Amino acid sequence: MRRRRPLTSRGAGALVAALSCLVAANLFGARILAYVGVLLISLVVFSLLAVRLPRRSGVVSRQVHTDLLTVGAKSRVTVRLTLRTWRVPPGLWHDMLPPALSGDASGEYSGDAAPLSYEATGIRRGVWPLGPLMLRTVDPFGLAQREQAFGEPRSVTVVPEVLTLTSAAVRVGAAGGTAHTSSTRLGQGSDNLSPRPYIPGDSMRRIHWRATAHRDKLMVRQEEEESSPDAVVVLDRSSHRWDTPGPDIDPNFEAAVSLCASSAMHLASEGYSVDVIDSAGSLLGSLRGQEDDRDNLLVALAQVSPRGVSRELPALLGGTPPGPLIYITGNLHEEDARRLHPAGAAAPLLFAATLPPRAVDTCRRHGWTVTRVDTDIATAWEDAIASRIEGGDIAH
């Protein structure tokens, strides 16, 4: 943080003029110039003491009007500054914004307790410090200035952009079968059970006494298979699939993170229970219809970066094939594509930043619908869905 000089431009000019008057008074013997020089120096010293001596302390509170800032979206920030001092002259304030936010976080400070506010736009996802609040005051003559920081920085989370995607018609034929996995759920109560006639050898513990009394013959419980709509979104963030991290963001990786969030939210809106994992098997979030599921996933995605290595996809899924499977990766080579099997998923969609022709052919043979994804996420998703419906295997 660059520190401001104690004197303003006017104050520096007054000090130079005072020294010039003293020198001229000594050279030409003009006592009036000496008086003027001493007066100017006294005025500058008085101004410095006026702004520097008073002790000032304050409490700062900030309110971001949205729980999470989103890349590309605006949110209003309200700042309240409570100062403890005998007098604060009017001045200028500005809130220190991290590079991940943009906005005009500055204005005039009148010295009262009125709230200060400004709009901030998310530029780069992550967790960033917001603040402190800087207050710059100037003495009544405009000769001396004081800039002081108030309050501690507050962490603000910028989450990836979530786009509205085309309806994923992958539940039926477009998915190559049903997109709902079936699982036998035992012991969940009578809602998941249907009675059938008793067969010799059935355990007496399975007798359905209510059905037996109703039908006047022995009936036993029979477990039914219950449809469980499950979907999995995998974000491949292994370091060798993406450009080397540096001071600048990788637009392909940012697009991949945004696609990961958008597709997961979209599948959840379609009625699926969604698990979002990375290529190492770490769970980034689950969408089960709970109020905090969405925010928890976005906060986790706000902090992901390319790192580590990837595991085999069947091992990530644990042997249970999901319905829709969204796999998002970066630079996909032919050798990587050979090991990338959809593990029996009903609707496997693969998105990659770069797709050599041989890697595409290999993925097609494995059953993937392959689409190249860049910063135009919505179009890439539409291409993938259209390709799946039409029975094609790759969308450009």
Q: What CATH number should be reported for the domain holding residue 247?
A: 3.40.50.410
Strand partners, 207: 220
Tell me, yes or no, whether 348 and 241 share the same domain: yes
The whole-angstrom distance between residue 149's C-alpha and the CA centroid of its chain comes to 28
For residue 4, tell me if it sits in a domain.
no
* HSE of 69, CA atoms in CB hemisphere, 13 A: 28
Strand 273-278 vs strand 283-287: parallel, antiparallel, or unpaired?
A: antiparallel
Tell me, yes or no, whether 193 and 298 share the same domain: no
For residue 348, tell me if it sits in a domain.
yes
For residue 167, tell me if it sits in a domain.
no
Count other Cβ atoms within 10 Å, centred on residue 151. 19
DSSP 298-332: HHHHHT--S-S----HHHHHTT---SEEEEEEEE-
Q: Give the pair of three-digit tokens for residue 206.
A: 């399975």
For residue 214, tell me if it sits in a domain.
yes
CATH number at residue 99: 2.60.40.10
396 residues of the chain, pLDDT tens digit each: 566 789 999 999 999 999 999 999 999 888 899 999 999 999 999 999 988 888 888 899 999 998 789 999 999 999 998 888 777 767 899 999 999 999 999 999 877 777 999 999 999 999 999 999 999 989 888 999 999 999 999 999 999 999 999 875 444 333 333 344 443 333 333 344 567 787 766 666 677 777 777 777 888 776 544 444 689 999 999 988 888 666 678 899 999 999 999 999 999 998 899 999 999 989 999 999 887 999 999 999 999 999 888 888 888 887 777 788 999 999 988 888 998 988 888 889 999 999 899 999 999 899 899 999 888 899 999 988 888 776 544 444
What's this model's pTM, rounded to 2 decimal places? Answer: 0.76
Length of the chain, in residues: 396
Q: 276: closest CA among 265, 288, 268, 264?
A: 264
| Domain extent for 381 | 173-179+229-395
Alpha helices in 129-194 (DSSP H): none
Tally of domains within the chain:
4
For residue 2, tell me if it sits in a domain.
no
Alpha helices in 29-86 (DSSP H): 31-52
Cα-atom radius of gyration of the chain, to the nearest Å? 33
Tell me, yes or no, whether 289 and 379 share the same domain: yes
For residue 1, tell me if it sits in a domain.
no
The answer to whether 131 and 60 are in contact (CB under 8 A) is yes
Tell me, yes or no, whether 75 and 132 share the same domain: yes
Tell me, yes or no, whether 285 and 377 share the same domain: yes
CA torsion 63→64→67→72, rounded to 10°? -170
The span from the CA of 66 to the CA of 63, in Å, is: 9
What are the angstrom distances between the C-alpha of 107 and each of 44, 58, 79, 104, 272?
A: 26, 18, 12, 8, 48
The answer to whether 101 and 121 are in contact (CB under 8 A) is yes
